[in-house]
Amino acid sequence: MPFLRVPPAWQLPRPHATAEASYQNRRQFLKQLVGAGIGASLIPLAGCRSGDAENPNLAATYELPSLEPLVSNDRFAGVDDRPITSQVLASQYNNFYEFGGSKNIWLAAQALPVNDWQVEVGGLVKNPQTYDLDDLKQQFDLEERLYRFRCVEAWSMVLPWVGFPMRSLLAAVEPRPDAKFVRFTSAYDADVMPGPGFHLGSLPWPYTESLRVEEMANDLAFFAVGIYGKELPKQHGAPIRAVLPWKYGFKGAKSIVKIELVAEQPKTYWHTLVPNEYGYEANVNPDQPHPRWSQARERFIGEGTTLSWEWRETLPYNGYGEFVADLYSA
């Protein structure tokens, strides 16, 4: 596995892709968004994007301690010409429904309390652990990985995460043979998390997600504690979140407080709410449309400071088939 020392990957020269505003396409997309579910939250974003780029409070949300020395693992760096999404865009175009139902939750998410964070790892393991953040950073070698990110809503980015492979955590806690699934639980505190503000019936907080243990042990499955070389901003799911680049973004639980190995497939947040729209497996698949929109193409959000996108073909497994297709061949 090739490891490169600094400079971090986003400072390396990369092919340039022109980010073009496709206003018509965007209007069309917004018109399609009827009904409840993740996509519905895009509606309020129209017309409010460029202002935040100049907002000094936005930049303050990602002026965080650096994670150094940084080692780049370029094994998964990608096969196409997509540039790294600019931080000013990635940090103001988020899904974090605990803090609101729009993309524009970066300010609200600053209410997330992250001091004295602990992650409990237990269930069907030989060696249960409760880690604080320093334990995690010391015990597991941090590396930077450039991953494509694909939301089920058909927008995408390329993001430089910093973290460690999930398989390292599995090795530390030693799953028992009867552990077949993992459940990730996000922090939840109703006092600081007002929720999405749209009606979906009673919401199954806390946010939970799950994988099969074999998926968690795959090379690509990653816990991020940082992005763009620094600690994770709150809107991205500080201080630790899951990143699973071959799956739709909703599989990557943010602000994780509990990781449990279990025998049965657990219930998960979106699958419980809208099972026909948000399947358990949720691998990126251009040939399997979401019930309310096509997944054949995606709106890639790249460089610049004003939100715009260009259409790209969706890749099976988001381009990571060579690493994960075997998991699904049975």
Residue ranges that bind ligand MTE, judged by CB under 6 A: 38, 94-98, 151, 186, 207, 236-237, 249-250, 252-255
Q: Give the residue with the Cβ less far from ligand MTE, 98 or 298.
A: 98
Q: Which of 269, 226, 242 is nearest to 91 (CA)?
A: 226
Q: What is the closest distance, in whole angstroms, from the C-beta atom of residue 330 to ligand MTE in the complex?
A: 27
Query: DSSP string spanning 83-147?
Result: PPPPHHHHTTS---GGG-SSS--TTGGGG---TT-EEEEEESBSS-EEEEHHHHHHHS--EEEEE
DSSP 9-21: GGGS---------
In the complex with ligand MTE, the residue whose CB is nearer, 128 or 204, is 204
Residue with tokens 């099976």: 316
**Order of strands, edge to edge, in the sheet holding 129-132?**
129-132, 118-123, 256-262, 181-186, 208-212
* Least distance in angstroms from the C-beta of 91 to ligand MTE: 9
Closer residue to ligand MTE, CB minimum distance, 61 or 95: 95
Q: How far is the CB of 318 from ligand MTE (least distance, A)?
A: 12
The residue of the chain with the least Cβ separation from ligand MTE equals 249
CB of 232 to ligand MTE, least distance (A): 9
Cβ nearer to ligand MTE, comparing 187 with 261? 187
- Shortest reach from residue 142's CB to ligand MTE, in Å: 18
- Select 164 or 269, whichever has its Cβ closest to ligand MTE: 269
Please, which residues bridge with residue 72 across strands? 4, 144
> Among 143, 257, 154, which Cα is nearest to 209's?
257
Q: How many helices (H) and strands (E) does the chain have?
A: 9, 14
Distance CA 187, CA 222 (A): 18
Is the backbone peptide bond immediately before 69 cis, with ω within 30 degrees of 0?
yes
Our CB check for ligand MTE shows the closer of 72 and 92 to be 92
Query: Please, what is the minimum distance in Å from the beta carbon of residue 147 to ligand MTE?
Result: 11
Nearer to ligand MTE, 124 or 144 (CB): 144
Supply 28's token pair: 């069309």
Least gap, CB of 113 to ligand MTE (angstroms): 14
